[in-house]
Homo-oligomer: A and B are copies of this chain.
Amino acid sequence: MEDSAASKRSVTVADVAKAAKVSKATAARVLGGYGVVSDKIKDQVMAAAAALEYRPNELARSMSTGRSGIIGVVVGDIENAFFSLAVRGISDAARLAGYNVIIANSGEKLDAEKSAVDLLIGKRVDGLIVTPARCDGMDHLHHVRRAGVPLVLFDRSIPELGVDAVTGDDRDAAITATRYMVDRGHRHLAYISAMDDEDGGLIDTGRISNSAVRERVEGFVSVLKEAGLPNPLCSVRFGATDQQQTDAVVRRLLSEASPPTALLASDSLVGLRIFRSLQSLGLSIPSDVSMISFLDADWTSVTVPPITVIDQRVYDMGKLAGERLVARIERTPLAVERLRVGTSLVVRGSVAAPGR
């Protein structure tokens, strides 16, 4: 009867103590591994604990110690290879330091991000890694700081917040990639991102709310300006959020008066969509259109032609963020800083001189 039925209540230190005929305090000492206990009693308690199949209640433990041993991570979308790789890096760093990771998805929406942060704070995580959907609207992140919970930003930085951030070297990466294409003779280039298309045309790069995208666009634009090419801002397009939208963006772009001959994709998902768009339009890469994508995703190496990409070392970024957060949690004295992880251009076969 009592064997098959779901055991009503779990075994506690008190139960173990009673079975071992010692006080609760003593049992707690050996079970919790603190204080001093004689070997004889220690064995007694351990035996009793094993017999009763005692498992400590981490919740209760967290409550009295004040630390949960959990790191909260808020990402845009776990399904995106960028984030799952980053999470892997974070997890590895966390586990190494004895922490566990709890993940929440924001879907890149500000209010979802807010409630995710609130929830994790409620769970009393020891620290938080957040990929802020927007770099304005950061009240909730201020709350985090005021609550005394260490915070590290990931992929995007918000200098006004005064917290650590781990990002790629986005401006530099964009410059390298853009220059690579310009050097090969391209005069009409376009940058395509999945960010929500806020207000039709882009007027001012400073108004892009995602710092990673902003810096990439700035890098892209700076190279075009430097090369004396016209209307650089008009070549920046947002809204490639799914295949259909991307098809529309690409089609519109290519039907312009002087269509771009080279495309720069803001992430590997956008890159894949662009690849498909071009394919479905019957355009071949790189003879008709050249392209470079951010992130060395697995698909980029097996297409024909393989795609030239900007390798972001996302795993390292995640690991670094995790390590930094652990250092903060453990009160290592460190200056607040922005850590940039270098990128590199992996040249494959998707860029050629523009055919005309």
Contacts and interface: CB of A to CB of B under 8 A. Distances in A.
Interface in A283-336: 298-299, 301-304
A121 to B, nearest CB: 6
Q: How large is the interface on A (under 10, 10 to 19, 20 to 34, 35 or more residues)?
A: 35 or more
A212 to B, nearest CB: 21
Nearest to A122: B58
A101 B70 CA distance: 13
B146 A53 contact: yes
A231 interface: no
Contact of A88 (B79, B299, B304): B79
A68 interface: yes
Interface in A61-115: 62-63, 68, 70, 78-79, 81, 84-85, 87-88, 91, 100-105
Contacts of A78: 78, 84, 87-88, 91
Q: Oligomeric state, in number of copies?
A: 2
A58 B123 contact: yes
A59 interface: yes
Contact of A59 (B63, B103, B304): B63
* Most B-side CB within 10 Å, residue of A8, A103, A121: A103
A118 B57 CA distance: 11
Interface string A219-254: 000000000000000000000000000000000000
Contacts of A60: 63
Interface stretch (A41-49, A182-190, A271-279, A341-349): A271-279
Contacts of A123: 58-59, 70, 100
Contacts of A101: 102-103
A37 interface: no
A298 B91 CA distance: 25
Contacts of A36: none
A124 interface: yes
Contacts of A57: 63, 122, 124
A302 B103 CA distance: 30
Contact of A55 (B59, B118, B279): B118
A85 B7 CA distance: 34
A49 to B, nearest CB: 14
Interface of A: 6-8, 10, 53, 55-60, 62-63, 68, 70, 78-79, 81, 84-85, 87-88, 91, 100-105, 118-119, 121-124, 143, 146-148, 272, 275-276, 279, 298-299, 301-304
Given A55-B121, A81-B81, 11 more contacts: A10-B148, A57-B63, A59-B62, A70-B123, A79-B85, A100-B123, A102-B102, A102-B103, A103-B103, A298-B299, A303-B303
